[in-house]
Structure 1
């Protein structure tokens, strides 16, 4: 059986609709509800990101059908003295996985990194994606750091002084909780 050839090209105007559809699918695949993903798309987040000069996107086609994409950025944090290329998103349609699509997309990333003078390519891999971790590890990516994330509200609550003066909002929340507790005990 002959393997189909994967064609990877930079995203042009003719590819935007395909990229947007795959981007929505990738958001849903990562656990975001279709409604939230559609809202992100309607807010123009993808177009805004792609309009930045340091962001590059490539689309992969298998037998003429768009089946994957990669979005990269150069020096994502701007703190490194050496140029870096970061794989921000890499997505392959589930029906096209294990056909060399992700490898072909990463070949385009290597070309970008070489043109940018970057000796390093980094990728943020979701912690829950075992398959992605294995894929990147097989290609030689190593773990450098653990990126921890917290919601703003949760961090504010945890940073609040314990036992000291509390904001009016904190006092209101505490009062409501104690009233709910009293009401549930009485009822």
Structure 2
């Protein structure tokens, strides 16, 4: 048993710097001060909403991990209510001290408080340890969430057709074809000469 104790509590705006560091790969790419400001807004929004909660777990008096919880539906098409446990994260130096369990306990308690039957979470697919941890807790994989920049996706779903030349030779070829069709149509429409 560890000689340090874990404390679970609701996050405050004073935690924003630690949370921005903890969630550095999840927040938008920006100046660190802007990331801290973003986290402050998220915490403020969660404080004001009964359907959201940012939970912090402290280990030896320091922030060791956190999770963002919100009540929503399983999907936009499946309206069964659930609690999303968004980005449960533990600082590397605090792993294997029960912090992850405390975060998921907070998610479970939030669901029970609100009479919700399902808890869902998302962890990076590349994090083998996190995926194993969630599997041990009974969370099964359901979908693979994929992300791409809009410009990249546009280039893949409707690629531009290559042009036949840099100097506009394609348009000259099309103009020549139109001229030939017009000349052929004129020849066919002329009356045939009478024979004597």
TMscore range, shorter length = 0.7 to 0.9
Pair 159,124 (structure 1): closer, same or farther in 2 beyond 3 Å: same
| Partner of residue 106, structure 1 | 104
Q: Which is higher, the Rg of structure 1 or of structure 2?
A: 2
Shift of 1:98: 0.4
**How large is the RMSD of aligned CA atoms in angstroms?**
2.8
Check the 8 A contact 1:75/1:85 in 2, yes or no.
yes
- Deviation readout 1:14-64 (Å, 9 max, x if unpaired): x3222x223222234x4889x73616415x322333305232111111222
Match of 2:40 among 28, 38, 47: 47
The structure with higher relative contact order (CA 8 Å, sep 6+) is 1
Query: 1: distance between equivalents of 2:150 and 2:136?
Result: 35
Query: 1: distance between equivalents of 2:130 and 2:152?
Result: 29
1:36 has 2:27 as partner:
no
- Deviation readout 1:76-124 (Å, 9 max, x if unpaired): 6554322100111212121111000110121111110011221111111
SS in 1 for 2:30: helix
TM-score calculated relative to the size of structure 1: 0.73
Unaligned runs of 5+ in 1: 165-170, 176-187
| Partner of residue 27, structure 1 | 23
- Comparing both structures, which one devotes a greater share of its residues to helix? 1
SS in 2 for 1:158: helix
Shift of 1:68: 1.4
Pair 84,135 (structure 1): closer, same or farther in 2 beyond 3 Å: same
Query: 2: distance between equivalents of 1:98 and 1:162?
Result: 52
Unaligned runs of 5+ in 2: 167-196
TM-score calculated relative to the size of structure 2: 0.70
| Partner of residue 135, structure 1 | 133
